[in-house]
Structure 1
Amino acid sequence: QAHDYNVFLCNTDEIAEAEIRNLNSLAAQGVDGIITLATHMGQAAVTTFLDEYEGIPLVMVNSTIHHPQVSVVRTNNFRGSQIVVEYLVQKGHRSIGMLTNVGVRHIQTNRALGFQEALSEHGCRYDMIVAEAPTMDGGYQGTKELLQKYPEITAVFTYNDLMALGAIRACHDQGLRVPDDIAVMGFDDTHPGAMSIPSLSTVRIDTFTIGRESMLRMLALLNEPNQTFPPINLDVQLVLRESA
C-alpha cells in the first residue's frame, strides 16, 4: 500500500495445475509481478510460463527454480530439522520417527533431508519415515502407522504443526503419554500448537519476515528489472514447550 500497489490473493490448495492456471490468469490481467508460496510447480512449468510472459518478475518462496526472471526467498528448512534432531538426541532419544508430506516439493524434501542427515551424524537409524497428508488427520493416521511399524520409537517429528497435533492425539489413543512416553515435535510454530494440551514444541518460521522480504524483493525487481539478485535465506528458531 505504501508504494501504491494492489494485492490479489489466489489459493491453489497445493495443486500444481491450479498454480499454473492462476499464474496464467494473473499474467493475462497484466499484473506487475507475482509472488508464489511453496509451489508444487517444476522447473519446466515455470520456464514455459515465463517464456510466454517474458519480463514479468516472479518471486518464489521456498523454491529451487532457476530462471533469470525468478528471485527466491527461502527459510532454512534443512537446518530446522537438524536442530530438532540435535535437541531430541540431547534429551536421550535414539529412535526418532518422522511424518513427511505425501506431496513432493522443495520445502518437504529439505525438512526430510535435514532430519536424515542429523540422525546419521549421531549414528541413529534415519529411515523410520511415513508420508501422509499434511493435516491433523494425516498426522493421526501417519503416527499410528509409525508406531505399528516401529514400536521402538520414543519421539515423533512432523512436517508441520497440524500433523503434530494429529500425532499427539494418536499417541493418546494408543495409551502413550506425551511427553512422558513419547515426544512430539512439529514445524512452523502456528497458533493451534501453542494452545494445544500439551503445548507443542516446534520450529518457528517468521512468516511476517517472509512476506515482508518477498514484497521488498518484488519492489526491487520492479525498480531494477535488469538486475539479478541473490537468494534471501531466513533463519529458523527452536521453540520448546511441553510436548518434548
Structure 2
Amino acid sequence: MGTGRVARRDAAVVRRDAAGLPPTSYAVLGLLAVADLPMSAVELKTRAEFSLRFFYWAPAVSHIRKELTRLAELGLVTATEVPAPRVRRTLVHEITDAGRTVLRNWLDDLPDDEPVVLKDPVLLRVWLGAQGDPDRIVRLLDQHLERTRAAIDDLQWGRRRAREMGLDNVPRLRHSRAVGDYVLRRLYAELANLTQLRDEITCRPTEPRPPTAGPPPLHEYDDDDDDGDRDGTSRSDEHTGTRG
C-alpha cells in the first residue's frame, strides 16, 4: 500500500531503541494491532474514545501523531499518504512485523508487581469536602454520576454496534471484548458506590473531629458504664461482650 517512509532495521537495534517507549506508545501500537488495518491519527483517537478511555486514557490527536512519528522512526509502524475526503492527503499508519514483535515483548516483559495508580480528582475533593462548600461537593458528585451513566450508555452502544457488525464472535477480539465487559461491570459498581456516597454525605452529616482527636474508635460505647469498669467488665460485656 504505497511507499511507507520506514527503513528496515536490525531487530536487536529496534528492541534496544524501543526499550524507552512510554506506555502510551504501546497503547497506540495496540490500537493498530487490534484494528489490523491502516488508520489515521483521527481514526485512532475515535477508537481510543470507545475503548482506551474507559480503563487507561484517550490521548489527544496531537499526542497520537507524536507517538506515531516516534513509532515510524523506529520502524514499528508504516506511514503512508493517501487521499482524504476533507483534506488533500492524510497519513495512515499500519503496524509492522517489528511493531508486533516489540508489542509482544512488552507484554511478556511487563513486571508482575507493577502498581496500579489510582488518581481520582472527584474523590480527592469529596475527601476534602469539609474544607469547602458542602453543596458544591454534592453538585460535583451529581455531575460525576451523569458522566458515569453516559459512559455506560456509550459502552452499551458499542456492544450493540459490535453485534450488528458481527464482531462479537471474532476470536482475535476476545480479550478486548472481555475488558469491555469488565469495564461495564466496574461502571455499574461505580454508579452504585457514587449513589451511596452521595446519600451518605447528604443524609448523614457529621461534625468534623478535632485535629488532635486521632482516628475514630472502632466501636461506640456508653459513657455511663463506670460501675462495670471498676471490676474489669462493662455492662455491655455482661450480655454480648461488646456493643456496636
Query: TM-score under structure 1 normalisation?
Result: 0.24
Larger Rg: 2
Query: TM-score under structure 2 normalisation?
Result: 0.24
Comparing both structures, which one devotes a greater share of its residues to strand? 1
Q: 1 or 2 for the larger relative contact order (CA 8 Å, sep ≥6)?
A: 1
